[in-house]
Amino acid sequence: MRSAAANGERNDLAARFPVSRIDHSKLYSTGAGVYTNGAEEFFSRMRRAEIGHHHHIAGAYLVRYAQEAAWREDHRRVANGAQVQAVAGLAMASGPSVDWCGYWQRAQKAA
C-alpha cells in the first residue's frame, strides 16, 4: 500500500514530466521507447559510487550526490580531459559552496 505522500510526489512528478508505466508481468518494453533500463542503470551507478568512492552518503547532502551522479551519467561518453576542463571551468566560475563551505570544520554554512 502506498502512502499519501508517495502518491502526492508521484502526482507532482507526473504534472511536470511525461510519465509512463510498464507492467513487467506482461511485457519488458512498450516498443514505443518506454522502458526502465536508464533508471535502473543510474541507481546501480549510485549504489556503486556509494560503495566505491563515497563510502557513505549523508542524507542531508543526498541531492548533491545525486546531482554529481547525474552529471557523471550525462558526461560518461565525454573524454576525460574534456571532463576535467569542464569541471575546472565550472569550479573557477562559481563562488563558495553554500553546502560544503566549512564542512570539515563543522562551521556555519556560507551565505
**Is residue 1 scored above 50 in pLDDT?**
no
What mean pLDDT comes out for the span 46-69? Answer: 82
The range of the structural domain enclosing residue 23 comes to: 4-77
Question: Is residue 101 in a domain?
Answer: no
pTM, rounded to two decimals: 0.56
Number of domains observed in the structure of the chain: 1
What mean pLDDT comes out for the span 57-84? Answer: 88
Question: Is residue 100 in a domain?
Answer: no
Quick one: which of 31, 44, 34 has its CA closest to 76?
A: 44
Alpha carbon distance 111, 101 (integer Å):
9
Question: Is residue 12 in a domain?
Answer: yes
Question: Is residue 107 in a domain?
Answer: no
What mean pLDDT comes out for the span 42-68? Answer: 82
Question: Is residue 63 in a domain?
Answer: yes
**Is residue 106 scored above 80 in pLDDT?**
no
Question: Is residue 15 in a domain?
Answer: yes
**Is residue 4 scored above 70 in pLDDT?**
no
The pLDDT score that the predictor gives to residue 38 is 77
DSSP code for 60: G
The pLDDT score that the predictor gives to residue 52 is 84
What mean pLDDT comes out for the span 6-13? Answer: 67
pLDDT, tens digit, for every residue of 34-53?
A: 777 777 888 888 888 888 87
Contact 73/42 with Cβ under 8 angstroms? Answer: yes
Question: Is residue 14 in a domain?
Answer: yes
Task: Enter the C-alpha cell of residue 99.
Answer: 553546502
65-69, 79-83, 92-96, 105-109: which has the highest mean pLDDT?
A: 79-83
Question: Is residue 40 in a domain?
Answer: yes
What mean pLDDT comes out for the span 50-59? Answer: 80
